[in-house]
Each structure stands twice: as structure tokens, then as C-alpha cells.
Structure 1
């Protein structure tokens, strides 16, 4: 399933980039993401809870940042291993681009290609897209809150 969208952040491009490169701090903005641990500057692990409608799925996730163009773009490859037999694994590839619209106003463009197996996949694209969009909206709100008090 492919999802493409964007959102605005009111902060400097450099500050936003620095946040995106700090996986522990950025992970705190992702709904359902806990225990983010950096394994290297470009690799990390996390526990994730994925909510789709009335169901919850728990995963051990591994992520890797690649094709990094400083202050411009980054690709993230994430794989999730289910912590219960009800869910199947997932893979998520995300391309993120930062576009400075004006000083302290940056548009974050993203293209997400998500694939899931098992019960999570059986819920269908309509439910999955709705849940992913809700999570993306919460993520952008959480990131913006970090910049409101300039506590990044």
C-alpha cells in the first residue's frame, strides 16, 4: 500500500533535520512507539503497537536510515516482527523530503510504501489507510509540539 502526503512544521529546516536524525527523540513522537534504541547513527530498534480500528498488534521493529542527503531527504526502511502469532510481519519504506517554504516554515513530504502479512494485512487497504493517516496526523502534531517550546 502506497501513501503520499505532506504536512507543515513551523521551525527551521536545520532544527527539523536534527530532530529527524535523533531517532530516540523522534520515536517519542510516533504513536505507539516505545523503547527506541539507537544501534548506530543510522540503525535503531523499537517496540511498536499498531492500532487498526479495534485491534492492536505489537511488534519488535528494526529501522535503518539510508540515502541521506543532509537537510534535504532521507529514506527509512523498517521491518516489524510480531510479538504474537495473531499478526504477521510488516515492512515499511518511507522517503522523506524537507522543503523550506519560507523561513521557519518547512513542508515535510513523505511517500510510504507499507506491506503487511497475516491478520494485519487481512484488514484491507481502506482500514489500513485510515489508521495510517490518523497516525501520521498524530505524529505531525507531536513533532510540532516539540518546536512550540523550542525543546528540541
Structure 2
């Protein structure tokens, strides 16, 4: 499954970059996130509750940031285990560029699921995963725009 999107954030690129690397802001933007802690400068441990159709599970996993180019972008690799619900893996590339009025954030993400989640049906899983990615970046946009105006 592949997802992509763009958000125009009303904040300078250096502010957006700083927020993309702030664990507290990232946690506030992840739908269903119960905890988000730094294991190192590039790795975070997370607990996220998600529902996909009739399956609701608590996923425990990690998120690794790599290929960081300051104020330009990075790669995100994440994976989570949800017990009998199955597992999820995600890879994304996030890029920043200057636009009138702020910063354009563009992302391209791929996701993979297994276990019970994979049995639900790819159309439903794809729809929910796309909605979660979209929700994350909308929340990120709102949080960063509000910080920049403060």
C-alpha cells in the first residue's frame, strides 16, 4: 500500500524541521498514541491503539529516523506488533520545501500488515492506514502552525 500527500504549513522551514524532530510534538500528532519515548536520538518506542474494522489492538513498536538532511527531510521506518491482531510496518520519506506563506511538507509512505489485519481486506486496511497518515500530518500542520503564530 502506498500513500502520499502534501501539507502547506504556515511556519518557516527551520521551525517545521525542529518540530519533525520533537518527540512531544510527534506523540501529539499520532492518532491513538499512548506513549512515545526516545530510545536514542534516532529511535523512538511507541504504544498506539488502532482500530481497523472489527479489529482493535494495542500496537507496541519502534520508529527509526534516518537519512536526515537538516531542514530538507528524512526517512521514517516503523513497525509494531499487535498480538493476535497482527503486525504493521511502515516506511516514509518526508521532504520540506519553501513556498509562499510557509513550508510545504510532502510525504510518500508504504505500509504492510500481517496476521488478522491482513485477513480483513486490503481495501479497508488501506483506507484506514491512509486516514491515519492523513490525520497525523493534519495534526502536525495544526500544531506547528499554532507554534509559529505564538
TM exceeding 0.5: yes
Contact 2:47-2:58 within 8 A present in 1 as well: yes
Q: Kindly tell me: are residues 5 and 148 of structure 1, through their superposed partners in 2, closer, same or farther at Cα, counting changes over 3 Å?
A: closer
Contact 1:13-1:98 within 8 A present in 2 as well: yes
Match of 1:94 in 2: 92
Q: TM-score, normalised by structure 1?
A: 0.88
Contact 1:28-1:34 within 8 A present in 2 as well: no
Match of 2:105 in 1: 108
Matches within 5 A, 1:15-54: 15-54=15-54
Gaps of 5+ in 1: none
Higher relative contact order (CA 8 A, sep 6+): 2
| C-alpha RMSD over aligned residues | 1.8
Deviations 1:83-104 (A, max 9, x none): x32x112211111111211242
The CA deviation at 1:2 is 1.5
Contact 1:24-1:38 within 8 A present in 2 as well: no
- Quick one: distance in 1 between partners of 2:89 and 2:145? 32
The CA deviation at 1:117 is 0.5
Moved over 2 A (4+): none
Match of 2:8 in 1: 8
- Quick one: distance in 1 between partners of 2:39 and 2:124? 33
For structure 1, which segment, 112-121 or 124-133, has the greater mean C-alpha deviation from structure 2 after superposition?
124-133
Match of 1:62 in 2: 62
Gaps of 5+ in 2: none
The CA deviation at 1:148 is 4.2
